[in-house]
Structure 1
Amino acid sequence: MENVDKFIGLTKTVLQRMVSAVGALLVIALIGILSAKTSLFQDLWQLSVVLLLTLVALFIQQVKPVVYLPYMLAVWSVYPELRRLLDWSYNSYSDTPIMALAPILVSLTMLIPIVKNFRKLTRVARGVLLTAIFVFLYGLTIGLPRFGGVAVGFDFINYLAPLLVIPYVNVGHFKSSDRDIWLRSLSSIAVIVAIYGIIQYFFIPPWDAFWMLNSEMTSIGHPEPMMVRVFSTLNSPGPAGVFFSFTLAVMVMNKKWRVLGFAGILIVAFTLLITLVRSSWIGLAAMIIVYFMQAKSQNKMKLMAVLVVLLMFYQFVLPSLPGSDAITTRFQTFGNLSEDTSYKERLAFSTQISSSITSNPLGNGLGSTGLTAKFNSQKALQDFDNGYLNIFYTFGLPGGLFLIGLLLFLLAFAFKGKKGRPEYYHLAFGTMVAVMVLLLSSNILSGVGGVCIWFLVAMIFMDPEEKVNHENLLRHP
């Protein structure tokens, strides 16, 4: 009788989920059909895609939670391309698309298990979350009177949503082996995105060309084959470079985290090169060097073999590929920064912003920099060529010091926790070192950069025995 009751209960649950899913799909289909008959058809189609992606996230969390993080990573990686396809199909460029809400809403679904199990968070995970929320709320309080609710709210969520991965993993009922599944999934996504980037480089798709012409981003080249700085399915070459640098480091560090073996590594490495984002190359180098210094002797030999293959590819294969001149020229600028125009502009910009921070130590608040500049173009700075100065410009000295302190704490925390499963702590430590390096160029703590960072760091916030280790590290530093 007990088994029958369980079967009936399980059947009801499955039926309820199926009815909910079918109902949601019908609503989305209805919105799509109506959108073709109204003046708001493009926005309605974007809204329907956002709703679909968010509902799928909720469904995955209920049915197969281990699949959620790969799904979230995929949404962050490809949603800009979905936006470009939609704009191109309607021949109408949207400067502030509704589609930008998709990855944020998908990430915010993590709040459901986090809030439900908040008391189960370890002291470290709770401290990280509350410190970050304090900093972001400070920035929101400063920015709200100046920039309005839309810009500030979007900026706030864009910072917070990626960081939710840490508490989500910490309270979730996951197996330790799930981490390898997640990291391998990240590599799979990177290879797919990289393959599209290579196609984009040699055969620029019409929807990408349409976006390049209408966005007026002159720094990303021309919409012609081998004349474009590759951005693949991401927003621009900058985020693409950050994404590929982190994922390539994961693939290089451990064989069990990569797909397609050396071929997968070479695909991602070549795509990283044709983004022409020098800071990402430096971040990758810093991450691999740190990992090499911490790895065991046996792992060092394996890592050396991978690096030799990459070096041979750069030395012998790359020069024979079409468009390689731009890559080699970009590398040569490292040895002659005094004559590099981009370097001079960054230096002048840093001097100017430093004076602005000194005159306003409380900060300008959220909404003052980045993508939210599109909501208040006369007041905000969209391009910011120094991540540290961006933090202090936005959060002022009070919030900036707290945020930098949080990053340094995670750096030290990952360095100390090497027992049990050292490869994940080495990965987290290398990630935080790369963060400190990449912040010299741009603020990567929000958006897809933040997703990569907090996802990799979250690997040390997982299973029960490691939660005990966290408490011991706090008591006995």
Structure 2
Amino acid sequence: MSSIARAGIDSTVRIVKSDRRQTNEWLPPALLWLVTAILIVAHQGAVLTLAFPVLSIAVGFWLYFASPVRYVGYVWWLWFLSPEVRRLADWSIGMYTPTSLIQVAPLAVTIISGLSLIRFYHLLAQRRGLPVLLVLAGLGYAFVIGVVSSGPMAALYDFANWVYPILIGFHIMAYSRQYPHFRGTIINTFIWGMLLMGGYGFVQFCVMPPWDVLWMANSQMNSLGDSVPFGVRVFSTMNSSGPFAFVMMGALAYVIEASSRIRWVAGTLGFLSFCLSLVRSAWGGWVIAILIQLVLSNNKLRVRIASTFLVLSFVLLPLMMIGSTADRMEIRLQTLINLSDDQSYAARNDFYTSFARTAFTDLTGEGLGATGTSTKLSNDRGHLGQYGNFDSGLMNIPFVLGWPGTLLYISGLIWLLTGAAFKSRRLPGDRFVSANISIAVALVGMLLFTNSVVGTSGLMFYGSIFLILAAEPMKRQYHRTNSATRGRR
């Protein structure tokens, strides 16, 4: 058999094996969502409440070992869709459940990435791992304080929300050799996620499904507007409009890097729902992200970015000028100009004025579990505590972590962010890197309004940073390989 024939056979075998492996990687998540859909259609909400977290965690473990890259995409899909699954389960059983096991699924599956911290612990002793060590040390200090002041359950739940974005980031760093696969997986996940969530968000605004009405009526989230058509602040498949808007902001930053034709439909629906969420801080973050991408791009790409959003604006402006939609958008936009008439701005300004001294002079800190939804676990009634609603990330960090924890955490965070910014300048031709640095900087700017380094926004923040850090050594390896190839020629 000739060498050419053998090479052809070997190539065919590799393609078959690759296709089989990709099919095997997609099959378990697809079965999870198929079972979920069947249980929803069959109105088996009670079964779904138990089955969904169990199956999600099982698939998460399988994907973590079988495909570490697709595992990250799967994590994002759980954060995108689990809140809607929970609402559909509640609706099918005809009652709202204050604490549902379904909401544990995305958190538990994301925490699986902590295995990478155990398996690749030696990376913490390297230069690239030291910032992670600092961040974890700061959280460890605040966790100990939180156990004492707020109780172990509240502290543990809050610790998980702070730490899981960092664990995913470390996981990406541990598998940085697979950066090209990470890039493709993240882009596809966000583009298809934007298509689904953007489309559903528009339906939610126009129709207001009954399961979403049930959620709004019982979740005590008065900021979501009215549970009637054209009266809601769109939150799509997620728990509230804030996290949804942050995810859409990141997806819109990735649109420029996407190559599939579906990006135009996804971008249109995502941008429309993004606007209808009425989250001004996310609007501002998106403007920051776009400006950074324009600065880091060449003239050809700048024209592409500008033309993309001119087309989106041309398509969406007529929709924004219809009926109550126009009224709500006009009121929201006016508050950006007339801050003196903005009650939200006035309340936040008063909060900064009155609480700044308390936040920055609490030396030991209140510990994890003192703020946010975790305060529900620090009392017997399951209600939000005194600091359940905390609008400022800049004050939340020192108030919770104290001076020792803040010094460690912020030192590691700044180290990571400056390293990513420096390396992004060395990769001007990688649009994915430009999108990620724009997302990271935009989320830092949002610390004025919310703690954007925890939860899903934190997952996007640390994910963006570590994707940039993973890109730089891959580029060096690529150039070394090309140089060696040219040398042999």
Fold equivalence (TM over 0.5): yes
- Give 1:456 shift: 2.1
Using the TM superposition, name which of 215-224 and 88-97 deviates more: 88-97
Amino acid at match of 2:376: K
Is 2:252–2:267's contact at 8 Å kept on the other side of the alignment? yes
Is 1:415–1:426's contact at 8 Å kept on the other side of the alignment? no
- Give 1:379 shift: 4.5
Is 1:238–1:277's contact at 8 Å kept on the other side of the alignment? yes
Q: 2:369 aligns with which of 344, 367, 370?
A: 367
Q: 1:324 aligns with which of 318, 326, 329?
A: 326
TM-score scaled by structure 2? Answer: 0.82
Structure 2: gaps of 5 or more residues: 1-16, 478-489
**Deviations 1:255-302, CA, capped at 9 Å, x for gaps:** 43x662332211111101111100000001001101111111221111
- Residues 127 and 425 of structure 1, relative CA distance in 2, 3 Å threshold: farther
Q: Aligned pair 1:239/2:243, yes or no?
A: yes
Is 2:78–2:105's contact at 8 Å kept on the other side of the alignment? yes
- Residues 130 and 362 of structure 1, relative CA distance in 2, 3 Å threshold: same
- Give 1:318 shift: 2.4
**Deviations 1:355-400, CA, capped at 9 Å, x for gaps:** 3224523211100111112223474411111111111111123322
Q: Aligned pair 1:227/2:235, yes or no?
A: no
Using the TM superposition, name which of 325-334 and 336-345 deviates more: 325-334
Is 1:125–1:167's contact at 8 Å kept on the other side of the alignment? no
- Residues 372 and 183 of structure 1, relative CA distance in 2, 3 Å threshold: same
Is 1:169–1:458's contact at 8 Å kept on the other side of the alignment? yes
The answer for the alignment partner of 1:390 in structure 2 is: 396
Distance in 2 (alpha carbons) for counterparts of 1:108 and 1:158? 10
Distance in 1 (alpha carbons) for counterparts of 2:103 and 2:454? 13
The answer for the alignment partner of 1:293 in structure 2 is: 295
Amino acid at match of 1:272: F
Is 2:137–2:409's contact at 8 Å kept on the other side of the alignment? no
Q: Aligned pair 1:100/2:103, yes or no?
A: yes
Distance in 2 (alpha carbons) for counterparts of 1:438 and 1:175? 27
- Residues 310 and 123 of structure 1, relative CA distance in 2, 3 Å threshold: farther
SS at match of 2:151: helix
The answer for the alignment partner of 2:14 in structure 1 is: none
Moved over 6 A (4+): none
SS at match of 1:158: helix
Distance in 1 (alpha carbons) for counterparts of 2:164 and 2:95? 29
Distance in 1 (alpha carbons) for counterparts of 2:179 and 2:435? 18
Using the TM superposition, name which of 376-385 and 445-454 deviates more: 376-385
**Deviations 1:129-185, CA, capped at 9 Å, x for gaps:** 212211111111111111111111011011111221222122225252441332222
The answer for the alignment partner of 1:425 in structure 2 is: 433
Within a 5 Å distance, the mapping from 1:445-460 to structure 2 comes to 445-460=453-468
- Give 1:45 shift: 4.7
The answer for the alignment partner of 1:67 in structure 2 is: 70
Distance in 1 (alpha carbons) for counterparts of 2:415 and 2:165? 18
- Give 1:120 shift: 4.9
Q: 2:408 aligns with which of 375, 380, 402?
A: 402
- Residues 230 and 438 of structure 1, relative CA distance in 2, 3 Å threshold: same
Using the TM superposition, name which of 397-406 and 189-198 deviates more: 397-406
Structure 1: gaps of 5 or more residues: 1-9, 470-477
Distance in 1 (alpha carbons) for counterparts of 2:326 and 2:415? 41
Computed over aligned residues only, the root mean square deviation of the Cα atoms, in angstroms, reads: 2.9
The answer for the alignment partner of 2:202 in structure 1 is: 198
The answer for the alignment partner of 1:5 in structure 2 is: none
Is 2:420–2:469's contact at 8 Å kept on the other side of the alignment? no
Distance in 2 (alpha carbons) for counterparts of 1:100 and 1:162? 17
Number of aligned positions between the proteins: 438
Within a 5 Å distance, the mapping from 1:160-199 to structure 2 comes to 160-172=163-175, 174-199=178-203
Is 1:288–1:430's contact at 8 Å kept on the other side of the alignment? yes
